[in-house]
Amino acid sequence: MKSFRRLIYPYMVWAGIFIVIPMLMIVIYAFTKEGNDTMTLQFTIENFVRFFEDQIFIQVLIRSLILAIITTIICILIGYPAAYFIARLKPNSQSIMVLLITLPMWINMLVRTYAWRGILLETGLPEEIKVYIGMVYNFLPFMILQIYTSLSKMDPSLLVAAQDLGCNSRQVFTKVILPLSVPGIISGITLVFLPAVSSFFIPKLLGGGSYVLIGNLIENYFVTTGDWNFGSAISLIMTVVILLSMYFTKKFDYDKENGK
């Protein structure tokens, strides 16, 4: 067993170089002043104060959260019926449907978003609606697949038992199928909400540059203005928001599993 532990070393090196070190650099930039030398770092919280004192930044953060929440809700409303329909098909048909859902995901998300940009260019739709279309299209498969996985693993004998006990179709769904599929819904929410709240190229391509979200703000301060200190501070704030959302999502899932 000890010999297999050595296989983790390359991953630890990779994680250290590409995850830990960049995160440490972001933390250092966020808590220091612009133009600091490596040997004369001046620590400060001005970058965070600047963010929370400016109402524009707060509005961008709120807009990003609202967009991610609405995108997630739409994905649930569309994804659950789709996953339920697929789970009720024959095994061969299920495999075909899953393949059709995952097939667009074989193409890079940026390429798919560019395609939607061309499709929606002359439609006259508001920029916000275009962004929602791009968000739902790109993240819907994650919701469908997670819910489908929960539904497909469900023991059919439970449904038969519920019917034998006098439950009608609606009661079977609300008292058996829906509660047992909650873990899939929670996983789908996680896989949709987190990338949606931090997405930057979908609003940039489909929003025409006029629909700014927190991801666009971070990109702008890193790439355009070169203010890495403030950009890092926004990144840390976004990280805290994401971690809190993951905590509450997992807590809700834990409470459901324990009947609380």
213: pLDDT confidence band, cut at 50, 70 and 90?
Answer: confident
pTM: 0.86
Spatial separation of the C-alpha atoms in residues 180 and 182, rounded to whole Å: 6
From 78, 28, 68, select the one nearest 200 (Cα to Cα): 68
68: pLDDT confidence band, cut at 50, 70 and 90?
Answer: very high
156: pLDDT confidence band, cut at 50, 70 and 90?
Answer: confident
Spatial separation of the C-alpha atoms in residues 247 and 186, rounded to whole Å: 12
Query: Of 76-80, 149-153, 159-163, 248-252, where does mean pLDDT reach its minimum?
Result: 248-252
> Which has the higher per-residue pLDDT, 16 or 260?
16
> Which has the higher per-residue pLDDT, 9 or 23?
23
Query: Of 72-76, 83-87, 166-170, 184-188, where does mean pLDDT reach its minimum?
Result: 166-170
Q: For the chain, what percent of residues have pLDDT higher than 90?
A: 36
Give the mean pLDDT of 146-156. Answer: 89
Q: Give the per-residue pLDDT at 70.
A: 95
> What distances in angstroms separate CA 168 from CA 5, 85, 87, 174, one per listed residue?
52, 19, 19, 10
For domain 31-257, the CATH architecture is: Orthogonal Bundle (1.10)
From 206, 215, 192, select the one nearest 134 (Cα to Cα): 206
Instruction: Specify whether the CB–CB gap between 198 and 238 falls below 8 A.
Output: yes
Spatial separation of the C-alpha atoms in residues 202 and 141, rounded to whole Å: 16
Is pLDDT above 80 for 38?
Answer: no
What value does the CA radius of gyration of the chain take, rounded to a whole number of Å? 22
Q: Give the per-residue pLDDT at 207.
A: 83
From 197, 205, 71, 70, select the one nearest 127 (Cα to Cα): 205
Q: 45: helix, coil or strand?
A: coil
Is pLDDT above 80 for 195?
Answer: yes
Q: Give the per-residue pLDDT at 40.
A: 65
Residue 233: exposure state from Cβ atoms within 10 A (0-12, 13-18, ≥19): buried
Q: Give the per-residue pLDDT at 211.
A: 77
Q: 181: helix, coil or strand?
A: coil
- Three-class secondary structure assignment of 216-234: HHHHHHHHHCCCHHHHHHH
Spatial separation of the C-alpha atoms in residues 154 and 13, rounded to whole Å: 40
**Cα dihedral 107/113/115/116 (nearest 10):** 130
Q: For the chain, what percent of residues have pLDDT higher than 70?
A: 92
Q: Give the per-residue pLDDT at 2.
A: 59
Is pLDDT above 90 for 51?
Answer: yes
Q: Using one digit for the tens of pLDDT, what is the confidence trace for 16-37?
A: 888 888 889 889 889 988 766 5
Q: Give the per-residue pLDDT at 18.
A: 83
Please state, as a whole number, how many other Cβ atoms lie within 10 Å of the Cβ of residue 130.
23
Query: Of 22-26, 206-210, 244-248, where does mean pLDDT reach its minimum?
Result: 206-210
Please state, as a whole number, how many other Cβ atoms lie within 10 Å of the Cβ of residue 48.
16
> What distances in angstroms separate CA 53 from CA 47, 48, 50, 58, 170, one per listed residue?
10, 9, 5, 8, 51
Give the mean pLDDT of 52-77. Answer: 93
Q: Give the per-residue pLDDT at 4.
A: 67
230: pLDDT confidence band, cut at 50, 70 and 90?
Answer: very high
For 255, half-sphere exposure in the C-beta direction (CA atoms, 13 angstrom radius) is 7
